[in-house]
Amino acid sequence: MTRELDWRTRAGRMVSSLGTLDPRVAQAMREVPRHEFVPVALASAAYEDTPLPLPAGDATISAPHMVALQLEWAELAPGLRVLEVGSGCGYLAALVAQLTAPEGTVDGVELVPALPHEARRRVERLGFADRVRFIEGDGSDRVGERGPYDRIIVSCATRQLFPLWLRHLAPHGTVVAPVGDAWGQELVRYREDDPLGPLDRGPRCAFVPLRRALSPDI
């Protein structure tokens, strides 16, 4: 009970420290326990606004303010079908599940083999397992089975929006991705049917690079 109060209090404080957020995003971040997704040794830092190392690979779990930005840009709503490229520890995917409940689905594709397995165990524990699936693979090369997707959220830095993603995008769907090189990217939202133009350019960001199965893409 004390532990429960403790993480909820810390999650609430962290969310308040992030400034004005979309209220639904803020609520989801108060409800999904980030400490369940970080390595046990780092659980005490789970509610600080900082990236944390993943237990496998050389990647990190994005800082909460960046996760909040990705979620706000994705404009999630109940029932949407979502693909995440680079699902890592599964934290963003769990938040997406919360924001698309009760019927939305999330397919996460992750290159580092140990990570989807661990992410699956976590969402099972949290009761999201029927709506969130984690798949091992190169997300520039494969997607999940529950497309076409209303939203594609890319969580690793990419030079391009791969044709594969656009082919699996549902009508009126959007792709949110950090586009740039290894030194920095800008968050981009692609919406093919937007009368103002397909691309919305957002803030600068720094994600780990998308790697092709054999070599870094950027």
Which residues are known catalytic residues? 62
- For 154, how many CA atoms within 13 A lie in the half-sphere containing its CB? 34
Please confirm whether the linkage preceding 171 is cis (ω < 30° from 0). no
Residue 59 to residue 70: CA distance in whole angstroms: 17
Nearer to ligand SAH (CB atom), residue 110 or residue 150: 110
Q: How far is the CB of 196 from ligand SAH (least distance, A)?
A: 28
Six-digit token string for 82? 């979502």
Q: How far is the CB of 82 from ligand SAH (least distance, A)?
A: 12
One-letter amino acid of 176 = V
Nearer to ligand SAH (CB atom), residue 37 or residue 190: 37
One-letter amino acid of 114 = A
Q: Are strands 132-136 and 105-110 parallel, antiparallel or unpaired?
A: parallel
Nearer to ligand SAH (CB atom), residue 160 or residue 172: 160
Beta bridge partners of 184: 181
Q: How far is the CB of 193 from ligand SAH (least distance, A)?
A: 27
Q: Please classify residue 106 by burial: count the beta carbons closer than 10 Å to its beta carbon, then call 0-12 exposed, 13-18 middle and 19+ buried.
A: buried
Residue 81 to residue 77: CA distance in whole angstroms: 10
Q: Residues in the site for ligand SAH, rule: CB under 6 A?
A: 54, 57, 59-62, 85-89, 91-92, 109-112, 115, 138-140, 155-156, 208, 210-211
Nearer to ligand SAH (CB atom), residue 26 or residue 68: 68
Q: How far is the CB of 148 from ligand SAH (least distance, A)?
A: 19
